[in-house]
Structure 1
């Protein structure tokens, strides 16, 4: 994996962990963190540039999903107050 690709992967990984850690619910938070860690660990040794790019796109989509769910959970939390 090229240095630029590695830094992009690590940046995506850190962002996904940061966003996952924001869930107010313990169960949602731990599930999201575990899924992110497991997915990156399972694909740690992928070297093919096309496969890396495909996985990066999957990661970006998953990050968008996490952010949408987080926004929804936080808005529900405020509505219940």
Structure 2
């Protein structure tokens, strides 16, 4: 069975989806808590898997928009102080008065 050839617009959308997926994975990479990181990775993978068979380009665009919003919210929550439940890596040079 031959693979379906993608139109240019579908190819571009697919590329945007893959970029968004990679951005999610890059966002969670600084998390040191292995359990939290694995849970987030599973959530991300599951969400993309659930929507992988969507064919309608407008629906794909809508999911991309919602995904970008979720990515921004995740980035904000990860960048919060460690009291948020996530520990992020901090270099000494990032600390005030670090010598």
TM-score past 0.5 threshold: yes
Aligned to 1:11: 19
Aligned to 2:62: 54
Between 1 and 2, higher relative CO (CA 8 Å, sep ≥ 6) is seen in 1
Aligned to 2:3: none
| Pair member with larger Rg | 2
TM-score calculated relative to the size of structure 1 = 0.83
| 1:61, distance to aligned residue in structure 2 (A) | 1.1
Correspondent of 1:31 among 35, 39, 42: 39
Higher share in helix: 1
For the residue of structure 2 that corresponds to 1:41, the secondary structure is helix
Distance 1:41 1:21 in 2: 20
| Count of residues paired in the alignment | 76
Distance 1:40 1:29 in 2: 17
Structure 1 residue ranges, 4+ long, deviating more than 3 angstroms after superposition: none
RMSD: 1.6
Unaligned runs of 5+ in 1: none
